């Protein structure tokens, strides 16, 4: 447009150059005012409650029904809403996501849902522990009273200097088939039996050769069953299970306790191919005792690091960063904003604070908080963020207008300079 005006100025004479330049300036101002919607940078665009946007097509449509191309239009509702809420506009690469307003009622509802989930998990994992049963590798000490010659079959104890860490102590070892061999009794299959059951079977077998044999059976070494503790503990590794039921707390304590980087709200328990996430902090806050959660043989316990459960804070904040939860694993919206140096007072639109949650292959959610009033920080202080949430603070309209000016003024100045030179 400026080039056309300059060419026209050459054709009409120098006397009309100033008027043409004034017209160019007015036209440039109109362009800048109309270009605010095209301001560079990230911005959360929200459609009205009556709009319906089809994935991959940003054209508004009527709620429900079928489009001309056969695409079905399904209304989207928010949590607890009776009508369609505002939504983050869809693009070709992102889906349409409903926006949920943050308030005290919603925060209480979310806290109750988490509390209920941990209570049900505690009931699922707090089954009565099973008694210890024999397995391959276990070592037994068997004594037949008044028959000391039978004790020689278990071998002599080795000195501490000559034994290696993997050597079993003296006694009768259950082989890999789960069998136990004892003089006169022969070979007995003892895998899956308790010590009292092994004692009864040995007594019955020895009664064929001895009169009322008195047999004592006890465990010399527990080597058949293990649980595995990994992650943010001081001594990760396998822990032998004995006849005393092992709780999650005891397993962590025997692994050296939580390290400084551990997230106590995210302890992963893998049992029979199923993953359970135990939140110690939430359980204690709900009056549940995690020491009543007992482990089973073969369980894998992994303590997650806090930096794996970070949240992202971006937009108009003083220090965009990846916020780390506290040692309890809890991080609220207020905590994340505090770590980011709070919102930028000159560029942020405090009424447009968003929390984006979920993944594209799941059910993403967007929460909106109007933070213009300091009282809104009461909600932010109680709203718990989840791992990998994104906190985004939008910029205000003046900032976007200033960015448009910054981009367009050099081009306008160049056009004006070219006009003056041409004159």
Entry pTM: 0.68
Reported as a pLDDT band with limits 50, 70 and 90, residue 239 is very high
Q: Name the phi and psi angles at 286, rounded to 5.
A: -90, 5
Q: How many CB atoms lie within 10 A of CB 19?
A: 12
Residue scoring higher pLDDT (316 or 15): 316
**Cβ pair 173, 181 in contact under 8 A:** no
218 by DSSP, 3-state: which?
A: strand
The whole-number pLDDT of residue 147 equals 82
**Is the pLDDT score of 229 beyond 60?**
yes
The whole-number pLDDT of residue 270 equals 93
Rg of the chain in Å (alpha carbons)? 36
The whole-number pLDDT of residue 318 equals 94
Reported as a pLDDT band with limits 50, 70 and 90, residue 83 is very low
The whole-number pLDDT of residue 337 equals 94
- Domain 48-101+310-396, second-level architecture: Roll (3.10)
**Under CATH, which number does the domain 116-128+225-307 receive?**
3.10.560.10
The whole-number pLDDT of residue 93 equals 66
The whole-number pLDDT of residue 70 equals 40
Reported as a pLDDT band with limits 50, 70 and 90, residue 401 is low
Residues 6+ apart with CB under 8 A from 93: none
**Is the pLDDT score of 111 beyond 50?**
yes
268 by DSSP, 3-state: which?
A: strand
Reported as a pLDDT band with limits 50, 70 and 90, residue 30 is low
Reported as a pLDDT band with limits 50, 70 and 90, residue 18 is low
- Closest of 299, 276, 159 to residue 227, by C-alpha: 299
Tokens 């919603």 locate to 106
Reported as a pLDDT band with limits 50, 70 and 90, residue 419 is low
Q: How many residues does the chain have?
A: 423
Beta bridge partners of 258: 233
The whole-number pLDDT of residue 358 equals 84
The whole-number pLDDT of residue 85 equals 59
The whole-number pLDDT of residue 15 equals 47
Alpha-carbon distance of 241 to 165, in angstroms, equals: 18
CATH class of 139-221: alpha beta
**Is the pLDDT score of 108 beyond 70?**
yes
> Six-digit token pair at 298?
């073969």
Condensed to tens digits (0 to 9), the pLDDT of residues 137-194 reads 899 989 898 888 777 776 655 444 445 556 667 788 999 999 999 988 889 999 999 9
**Cβ pair 221, 158 in contact under 8 A:** no
- Closest of 254, 263, 253 to residue 232, by C-alpha: 263
Q: Name the phi and psi angles at 99, rounded to 5.
A: -105, 125
The whole-number pLDDT of residue 4 equals 47
The whole-number pLDDT of residue 372 equals 87
Q: Name the phi and psi angles at 325, rounded to 5.
A: -65, 165
- Closest of 63, 59, 80, 81 to residue 72, by C-alpha: 63
The whole-number pLDDT of residue 116 equals 86
Per DSSP, 93 falls in state: S
Dihedral of the CA atoms 120, 121, 122, 125 (nearest 10)? Answer: 130
Q: Name the phi and psi angles at 170, rounded to 5.
A: -65, 140
Reported as a pLDDT band with limits 50, 70 and 90, residue 57 is very low
* Arithmetic mean of pLDDT, 288-316: 90
Reported as a pLDDT band with limits 50, 70 and 90, residue 55 is very low
The whole-number pLDDT of residue 289 equals 82
**Cβ pair 142, 181 in contact under 8 A:** no
**Is the pLDDT score of 413 beyond 50?**
yes
**Is the pLDDT score of 414 beyond 90?**
no
Strand pairing category for 300-305 and 274-278? unpaired
Condensed to tens digits (0 to 9), the pLDDT of residues 312-361 reads 999 999 999 999 998 888 999 999 999 999 998 888 888 899 999 987 66
Render the burial of 118-138: b for 16+ CB within 10 Å, e for the rest.
beebbeebbeeeeebbbbebb
Reported as a pLDDT band with limits 50, 70 and 90, residue 204 is very high
**Is the pLDDT score of 405 beyond 80?**
no
The whole-number pLDDT of residue 82 equals 40
- SS3 for 324-357 is CCCCCCCCEHHHHHHHCCCECCCCEEEEEEEEEE
């Amino acid at each position: 447009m400026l080039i056309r005006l300059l060419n026209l100025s050459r054709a009409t004479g120098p006397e009309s150059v100033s008027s043409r330049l004034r017209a160019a300036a007015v036209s440039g101002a109109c362009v800048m005012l109309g270009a605010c919607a095209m301001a560079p940078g990230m911005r959360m665009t929200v459609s009205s409650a009556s709009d319906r946007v089809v994935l991959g097509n940003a054209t508004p449509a009527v709620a429900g029904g079928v489009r001309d191309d056969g695409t079905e239009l399904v209304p989207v509702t928010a949590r607890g809403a009776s009508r369609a809420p505002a939504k983050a506009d869809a693009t070709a690469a992102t889906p349409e996501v409903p926006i949920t307003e943050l308030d005290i009622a919603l925060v209480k509802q979310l806290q109750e849902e988490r509390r209920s989930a941990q209570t049900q998990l505690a009931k699922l994992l707090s089954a009565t522990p099973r008694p210890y049963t024999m397995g391959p590798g276990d070592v037994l000490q068997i004594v037949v009273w008044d028959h000391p010659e039978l004790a020689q079959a278990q071998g002599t104890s080795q000195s501490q200097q000559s034994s290696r860490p993997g050597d079993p102590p003296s006694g009768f070892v259950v082989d890999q088939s789960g069998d136990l061999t004892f003089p006169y009794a022969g070979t007995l299959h003892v895998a899956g039996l308790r010590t009292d059951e092994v004692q009864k079977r040995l007594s019955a077998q020895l009664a064929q050769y001895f009169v009322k044999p008195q047999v004592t059976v006890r465990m010399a070494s527990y080597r058949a069953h293990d649980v595995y503790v990994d992650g943010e503990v001081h001594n990760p590794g396998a822990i032998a299970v004995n006849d005393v039921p092992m709780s999650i707390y005891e397993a962590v304590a025997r692994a050296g306790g939580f390290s400084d980087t551990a997230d106590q709200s995210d302890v992963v328990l893998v049992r029979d191919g199923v993953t359970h996430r135990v939140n110690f902090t939430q359980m204690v806050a709900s009056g549940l005792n995690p020491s009543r959660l007992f482990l089973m043989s073969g369980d894998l316990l992994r303590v997650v690091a806090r930096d794996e459960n970070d949240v992202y804070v971006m937009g108009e904040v003083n220090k965009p960063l990846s916020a780390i939860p506290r040692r309890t694993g809890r991080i609220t919206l207020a905590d994340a904003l505090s770590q980011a140096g709070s919102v930028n007072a000159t560029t942020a639109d405090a009424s447009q604070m968003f929390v984006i949650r979920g993944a594209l292959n799941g059910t993403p959610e967007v929460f909106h908080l109007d933070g213009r009033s300091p009282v809104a920080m009461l909600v932010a202080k109680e709203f718990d963020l989840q791992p990998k949430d994104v906190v985004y603070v939008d910029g205000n309209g003046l900032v976007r207008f200033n960015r448009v000016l910054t981009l367009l003024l050099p081009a306008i100045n160049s056009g004006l300079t070219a006009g003056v030179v041409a004159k």
